[in-house]
């Protein structure tokens, strides 16, 4: 018996009934073991099929499972990497990838590389040796806060982190520690919409904060009434996205943060994706719901410089309304034999060159650079949205600004995505509900990219309609994820994927 047989069999029943029966059956150790074994076998088979595409350089280039006896010549290493780079860069450079590379113009990259090289030895852990990085980071935080509605003497402060996930983890840890210290809360809870980024689930697991998920409305925005109902004495923070990763919708942050303010609870706006684009879209006159420090209930914001801030990968900003909250983020110890030790974020040593490059990106673009970029991105997204609306069988999820998710009531949307992959596209598959999105970046604003996307999408829909029996590549993976209500079965498959990534 394989997953397809089980899937076909299960598809005949009501999914709730299947979930209930599987849930009950799983409680019996024998069946639990059997289900796990089937899933393991099936994940292994899927991974074997995918291994070729996950590891495309096998045997094509020199491989080192252990150190070479003597070092290889620098030229050889450089040549190898240049060859590999040339294989990969066409895809993102020519705008085939959703999100991922947000700027990508050659002159911009060269400039950031130059800045990195100037600062490559810096480490802000040693602020006495490199006070330059403290200067750059303080200014990155200040420029970001000013952009996100903090007045000059508002007290809003923050730190530079390694990315959106770290900003979110740090904020959740700070709320947890503050609640424990100031309110004696030992079993903290955070309220998040189901569409919030997985980093919040990570924070929940890492820091033992119970995650209370609330549903979203038909436009994929958090249900405010459900948020109100979910608040308890243990709630330490409420979270809203501006916008959410899956559907690009901004939650009703004004109402949500007011609820938090009235109950004296923290409110975090996750503007990792939108922090560096929403302020400029708003200035261009597009309808942008309030989300930043202009709302009195918002107590922290994460905003990623390495997305629409157009910095190199590896930086983000976490902002707090006041320094007291930031103190819960800082690590400090006076007990270590290694001396007085303190660091603002999770890492000890950090690449100061990335902060320098981030500062350089922000200062070189300036307000005008961000404004122009935002204008080009929303205009391209509008073209894409209009085009998708005209394709029979597809519908857009919600009413997004530049992250455009689409679904189908007639076709398997993952097979549409699989077809797009054969045309070179790398789109994001989403589920619960099943859909696919394209996160529009500057790469897509180049001539003819949006037109090519729509042409390929029309062909994809046509193809899937005419070939209903085909299996596809990612379609079975999502099929399996959707049909197995058992979380561990799906996460086992993800373990297998990560294991494969680390195979030489
Ligand atoms: C809304 C949102 N929050 C958080 C993150 C996490 O960011 P990172 O991948 O930099 O950790 C993302 C990433 O896409 C995001 O879209």
pLDDT of residue 3: 44
Q: Based on the fold, state whether residues 188 and 281 are members of the same structural domain.
A: yes
Rounded to the nearest whole angstrom, what is the distance from the C-alpha of residue 273 to the centroid of ligand 1? 6
Backbone φ, ψ for residue 81 (5° rounding): -70, -35
Rounded to the nearest whole angstrom, what is the distance from the C-alpha of residue 165 to the centroid of ligand 1? 6
Q: Based on the fold, state whether residues 263 and 347 are members of the same structural domain.
A: yes
Q: Using alpha carbons only, what angle is made at residue 291 by residues 287 and 293, rounded to the nearest 5 degrees? A: 130
Dihedral over alpha carbons 296, 297, 303, 308 (to 10 degrees): -60
Q: Which of 315, 332, 362 is the last residue of a domain?
A: 362
Residue 12 placed within a domain: yes
pLDDT of residue 5: 47
Judge contact between 303 and 316, C-beta under 8 A.
yes
- How far apart (Å, rounded) are the C-alpha atoms in residues 420 and 458? 10
CB contact set of 91 (below 8 Å; sequence gap of 6+): 97, 424, 426
Task: Collect the ranges in the chain with pLDDT lower than 70.
Answer: 1-19, 22, 483-487
DSSP string, 13-77: S-HHHHHHHHHHHHTSHHHHHHHHHHHHHHHHHHHHHHHHHH-TTTTTS---SS--SSPPPHHHH
Say whether 212 sits in a helix, a strand or coil. strand
Q: Based on the fold, state whether residues 50 and 126 are members of the same structural domain.
A: no
Q: Whose CA is nearest to atom 16 of ligand 1?
A: 245
Counting every residue written for the chain, the total comes to: 504
Q: How far is CA 463 from CA 119, 409, 417, in A?
A: 51, 16, 11
Strands 316-320 and 331-333: unpaired
Residue 133 placed within a domain: yes
Give the pocket of ligand 1 (CB within 6 Å).
163-165, 197, 199, 241, 244-245, 270, 272-273, 304, 316
Q: Based on the fold, state whether residues 153 and 241 are members of the same structural domain.
A: yes
Dihedral over alpha carbons 421, 425, 431, 437 (to 10 degrees): -160
Helix axes 413-422, 474-483, angle to 10 degrees: 160
Residue 131 placed within a domain: yes
Rounded to the nearest whole angstrom, what is the distance from the C-alpha of residue 304 to the centroid of ligand 1? 8
Q: Residue 8: is it exposed, middle or buried by C-beta count within 10 angstroms (0-12/13-18/19+)?
A: exposed
What's the domain range around 335? 122-362
Rounded to the nearest whole angstrom, what is the distance from the C-alpha of residue 416 to the centroid of ligand 1? 25
Q: Match 């991974």 to its residue by tokens.
A: 47
Residue 315 placed within a domain: yes
Residue 469 placed within a domain: no
Q: Which of 197, 239, 253, 277 to mutate to test the pocket of ligand 1 (most atoms within 8 A of CB)?
A: 197
DSSP string, 71-96: PPPHHHHHHHHHHHHHHHHHHHHTT-
Q: Does an H or E element contain 407, and which?
A: strand 403-407
Residue 436 placed within a domain: no
pLDDT of residue 34: 81
DSSP string, 100-115: S-S---HHHHHHHHHH
Rounded to the nearest whole angstrom, what is the distance from the C-alpha of residue 420 to the centroid of ligand 1? 24
How many domains are contained in the chain? 2
Rounded to the nearest whole angstrom, what is the distance from the C-alpha of residue 337 to the centroid of ligand 1? 37
Q: Which of 163, 253, 272 to mutate to test the pocket of ligand 1 (most atoms within 8 A of CB)?
A: 272
Judge contact between 157 and 300, C-beta under 8 A.
no
CB contact set of 28 (below 8 Å; sequence gap of 6+): none
Residue 445 placed within a domain: no
Q: Does an H or E element contain 331, and which?
A: strand 331-333
Rounded to the nearest whole angstrom, what is the distance from the C-alpha of residue 407 to the centroid of ligand 1? 22
Q: Shortest CA distance to 260 belongs to which of 197, 182, 190, 212? A: 190
Q: Which two tokens stand for residue 29?
A: 């150790």
Residue 460 placed within a domain: no
Q: Based on the fold, state whether residues 206 and 309 are members of the same structural domain.
A: yes
Which of ligand 1's atoms lies nearest the C-alpha of 163?
10
pTM of the model: 0.93
CB atoms within 10 A of CB 432: 10
Q: Which of 199, 202, 203, 404 to mutate to test the pocket of ligand 1 (most atoms within 8 A of CB)?
A: 199
In terms of phi and psi (left: phi > 0; alpha: psi -120 to 50; beta: otherwise), the region of 333 is beta
Peptide bond into 243 cis (omega under 30): yes
Q: Based on the fold, state whether residues 178 and 255 are members of the same structural domain.
A: yes
Q: Based on the fold, state whether residues 211 and 321 are members of the same structural domain.
A: yes
Q: Based on the fold, state whether residues 177 and 287 are members of the same structural domain.
A: yes
CB atoms within 10 A of CB 307: 26
Q: Based on the fold, state whether residues 260 and 355 are members of the same structural domain.
A: yes
SS3 content of the chain, % helix, strand, coil (to 5): 50, 10, 40
Rounded to the nearest whole angstrom, what is the distance from the C-alpha of residue 60 to the centroid of ligand 1? 33
Q: Whose CA is nearest to atom 10 of ligand 1?
A: 164
Q: Which of 302, 333, 362 is the last residue of a domain?
A: 362
- How far apart (Å, rounded) are the C-alpha atoms in residues 98 and 426? 6
Rounded to the nearest whole angstrom, what is the distance from the C-alpha of residue 371 to the centroid of ligand 1? 22
pLDDT of residue 486: 65
Q: Based on the fold, state whether residues 48 and 150 are members of the same structural domain.
A: no
pLDDT of residue 484: 65
Q: Based on the fold, state whether residues 42 and 127 are members of the same structural domain.
A: no
Q: Shortest CA distance to 281 belongs to which of 402, 364, 386? A: 402
Which of ligand 1's atoms lies nearest the C-alpha of 168?
4
CATH assignment of the domain containing 206: 3.40.640.10
Which of ligand 1's atoms lies nearest the C-alpha of 99?
14
Q: Which of 362, 397, 417 is the last residue of a domain?
A: 362
């Amino acid at each position: 018996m394989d997953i397809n047989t089980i899937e076909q069999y299960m598809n005949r029943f009501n999914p709730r009934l299947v979930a209930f029966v599987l849930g009950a059956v799983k409680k019996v150790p024998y069946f639990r073991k059997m289900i796990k074994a089937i899933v393991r076998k099936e994940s292994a088979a899927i991974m074997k099929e995918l291994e070729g595409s996950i590891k495309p350089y096998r045997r094509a280039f020199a491989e080192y499972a252990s150190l070479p006896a003597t070092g290889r010549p620098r030229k050889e290493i450089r040549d190898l990497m240049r060859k590999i780079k040339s294989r990969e860069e066409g895809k993102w450079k020519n705008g085939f990838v959703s999100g991922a590379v947000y700027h990508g113009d050659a002159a911009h990259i060269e400039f950031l590389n130059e800045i990195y090289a100037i600062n490559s030895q810096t480490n802000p852990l040693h602020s006495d040796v490199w006070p330059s990085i403290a200067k750059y980071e303080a200014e990155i935080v200040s420029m970001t806060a000013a952009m996100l509605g903090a007045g000059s003497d508002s007290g809003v402060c923050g730190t530079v982190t390694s990315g959106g996930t770290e900003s979110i983890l740090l904020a959740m840890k700070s709320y947890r520690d503050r609640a424990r210290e100031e309110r004696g809360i030992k079993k903290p809870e955070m309220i998040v919409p189901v569409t919030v980024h997985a980093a919040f689930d990570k924070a929940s697991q890492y820091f033992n904060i119970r995650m209370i998920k609330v549903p979203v409305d038909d436009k994929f925005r958090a249900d405010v009434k459900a948020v109100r109902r979910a608040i308890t004495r243990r709630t330490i923070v409420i979270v809203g996205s501006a916008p959410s990763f899956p559907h690009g919708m901004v939650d009703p942050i004004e109402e949500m943060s007011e609820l938090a303010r009235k109950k004296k609870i923290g409110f975090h706006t996750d503007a990792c994706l939108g922090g560096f684009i929403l302020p400029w879209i708003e200035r261009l006159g597009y309808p942008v719901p309030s989300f930043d420090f202009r709302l009195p209930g918002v107590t922290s914001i994460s905003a990623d410089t390495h997305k629409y801030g157009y910095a190199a990968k590896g930086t983000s900003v976490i902002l707090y309304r006041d320094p007291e909250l930031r103190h819960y983020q800082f690590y400090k110890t006076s007990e270590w034999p290694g001396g007085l030790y303190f660091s603002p974020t999770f890492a000890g040593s950090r690449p100061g060159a990335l902060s320098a490059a981030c500062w350089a990106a922000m200062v070189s673009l300036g307000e005008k650079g961000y404004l122009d970029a935002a204008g080009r991105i929303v205009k391209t997204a509008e073209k894409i949205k209009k085009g998708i609306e005209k394709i029979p069988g597809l519908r857009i999820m919600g009413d997004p600004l530049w992250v455009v998710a689409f679904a189908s009531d007639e076709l398997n949307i993952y097979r549409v995505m699989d077809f797009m992959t054969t045309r070179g596209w790398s789109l994001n598959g989403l589920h619960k509900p099943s859909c696919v999105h394209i996160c529009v970046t500057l790469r897509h604003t180049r001539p003819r990219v949006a037109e090519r996307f729509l042409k390929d999408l029309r062909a994809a829909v046509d193809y899937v309609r005419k070939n209903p029996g085909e299996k596809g590549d990612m379609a079975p993976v999502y099929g399996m994820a959707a049909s197995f209500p058992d979380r561990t079965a799906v996460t086992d498959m993800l373990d297998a994927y990560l294991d494969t990534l680390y195979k030489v």
